Amino acid sequence: MTTTQPDPARLFRSLHTPTAPLALANAWDVASARVIEAAGAPAIATTSAGVAWSLGSPDGDVLARDRALKLIARIVAAVAVPVTADIEGGYGKDAAEVAETVAGVLAAGAVGVNIEDGTRPPAELAARLATARQCADRAGADLFLNARIDTFLFGLGDPDTRLRDTLTRARSYVDAGADGVFVPGVTDTATIAALARDISVPLNVMAGPGAPTVAQLGALGVARVSLGSGVAQAAYAAARRAAQDLFGTGGYDSLAEGIAYPELDALLSGPH
C-alpha cells in the first residue's frame, strides 16, 4: 500500500480558514522550529525580527539577503510541515531585487512569504507584490503571498481614517497578487470584524497577551493568527531572567521550566 503526501503549498493554502484559523508560533532558528513543530504546529512561519536578532542584526531591512535565505533553507530542511518566510520588505531596494529574494525563498523550499509595506508608499509595496507574483508564476510555484499592512502597527495616518486607509491598501495589494492580508497591531474586535468582512482574501492578525483567543478571532472572520516576534522575545526574556538570577542572587530557579535536555536534543537528532 502506498500513500501520497499532500503538496505542501496546497496544504498550506488550505489551512487559511476562519473555521479553524491557522495558528503560527513564529520560529527564528532550526531549534525553535523543531520545538514548535513538535508541539503540534501544522505549519512553520519565521519571524524576520527573531531571525535578524539571532544572526546579530537589528530588525528592519538590515539583515543581508543571503544570510536570511540560508536560515530559511535550514528551517525548511529541518521540519516536515510547510514553511512560510517573513522577508520584511523583500530584502531589496527595488522590485527587481525583491524578485531575486523570492526566487531564493522558492529555491529554499518555502511555500509562502510575508512582505510588508512599513512606511513605504503603498504603490511601492504593490509593485513588489506584483513582481513577487510574477516570479512565482514563472517558476510554476504555488506561493502564498501575504501582504503586511502596517497602518495600525505603526500608527500611520489619521486615526479617524485608518481603517478606510487600510482597506484601500488591502484592495491594492490583492489586485497586485496578494493571497492574504496581514494587519498587525489591531486587537479591537469591531475593527478586526470590519477588516475580515471587507477584505476579499484571508485575513491574518497578530496576537499576544490581551488579544482575543484564536477561536474568538476565527468567529470574527480571521483566517490566520501569528505571534510575530513574541515567542523570540519571550525566549530572550527567559535568558535575561536566568542571567539576572545568576548575577544577582546567585540563584538558578528561573531554569526550572526549561525543556529537558534529552527531549530537546532528540528533536535535533537524526532525520526529520
In angstroms, the CA 166 to CA 95 distance is 22
Read off the amino acid at residue 7. Answer: D
Residue 21 CB partners (closer than 8 Å, separation 6+): 214, 215, 217, 218, 222, 223, 224, 225
Cell numbers at residue 232, please?
523570540
Tell me, yes or no, if the pTM score tops 0.75: yes
In angstroms, the CA 114 to CA 175 distance is 16
Residue 9 CB partners (closer than 8 Å, separation 6+): 82, 111, 112, 141, 142, 143, 144
| Residue in the structure block whose three cell numbers are 472572520 | 221
Domain boundaries, the chain: 8-228
Q: Find the helix packing angle between 122-139 and 95-108, rounded to 10°.
A: 40
The architecture (CATH level 2) of 8-228 comes to Alpha-Beta Barrel (3.20)
For the chain, 272 residues long, give each residue's pLDDT as a single digit of tens. Answer: 344 446 999 999 999 999 999 999 999 999 999 999 999 999 999 999 999 999 999 999 899 999 999 999 999 999 999 999 999 999 999 999 999 999 999 999 999 999 999 999 999 999 999 999 999 999 999 999 999 999 999 999 999 999 999 999 999 999 999 999 999 999 999 999 999 999 999 999 999 999 999 999 999 999 999 999 999 999 999 999 999 999 999 999 999 999 999 999 999 986 55
Query: How many C-beta atoms lie closer than 10 Å to residue 154's C-beta?
Result: 13
20: left (phi over 0), alpha (psi -120 to 50) or beta: beta
In angstroms, the CA 140 to CA 212 distance is 38
SS3 145: strand
